[in-house]
Structure 1
């Protein structure tokens, strides 16, 4: 991808996994609930004008972006399907673990947002690899789709948040 050694990308990929595991599973026990309604956080963020729920949505996306980015960097051929599938499987495993270990709320929305974040990381890797990498041909044919997905995601969330005008003053640890 860039002029960084392949082992550095592998290390950073493993580090992203460690950070995700720490952020999602290293917490006090006692909240092993499950939420099976899809899009409940988006509905709540919208209906309550809640900065807290927008924070949860965007935080889950941002948490998995390095995972998708460094996964793309270590793959022989960048593939959005692999980035999405790996993000989905890893996220689903975390959600199941949270429920079984009483370490948080296992929910479909988190799997969706985390998978989205993995795809955003893939897109960022493709775009940056094409612009600054020494193997541009590796990303040709992928950069337009990646740019479109990345740009549309940023545009969509910007419009939603500006139109919704959430209250960001709500304490972030309230649930």
Structure 2
């Protein structure tokens, strides 16, 4: 989580408050403009919160995927709102969406690994 805060806040100089709340505007840019740049933007925002999803999936064993998505979305929203008020980035709906998706990917991956290990352990006793 410190790395995410460093990348999104501490590593940046304050400028002015900016926001883009139009849903899926980055995807529109991806399809109609320099696709390499927008592909990188979207991919990095997804990948950035995968470790958060892995952590929550491992730490909170009984958490559901919906709860994991809500927690990832809340963490991402906290980052975006902090960026807006500290003037250290762009408040974007798409970032929250992509970050949440990344957290869900990490969460599901971890739950699958845990289920596989439990299944493997249970098979030893047969």
TM-score by length of 1: 0.65
Match runs of 1:83-122 below 5 Å: 83-122=68-107
2:23 paired with 1:55: no
Matches within 5 A, 1:14-163: 17-26=1-10, 27-131=12-116, 133=117, 135-136=118-119
Q: 4+ runs of 1 displaced by more than 4 Å? A: none
The answer for unaligned runs of 5 or more in structure 1 is 1-16, 138-175
Alignment correspondent of 1:145: none
Tell whether the 8 Å contact from 1:67 to 1:87 is kept in structure 2 after alignment. Answer: yes
Which structure 2 segments of 5+ residues have no match? 121-126
- Point out which structure has higher relative CO (alpha carbons under 8 A, 6+ apart): 2
Q: Once the two structures are superposed, what CA deviation does each residue of 1:113-167 show, in whole Å capped at 9, x if it has no partner?
A: 0000011001111222233x2x339xxxxxxxxxxxxxxxxxxxxxxxxxxxxxx
TM-superposed CA distance for 1:31, in Å, is: 4.1
For residues 127 and 45 of structure 1, the distance between their equivalents in structure 2, rounded to whole angstroms, comes to: 31
State the alpha-carbon separation in 1 of the partners of residues 76 and 96 from structure 2. Answer: 5
Q: Distance in 1 between matches of 2:16 and 2:7?
A: 15
Tell me the matched-pair count.
Answer: 119
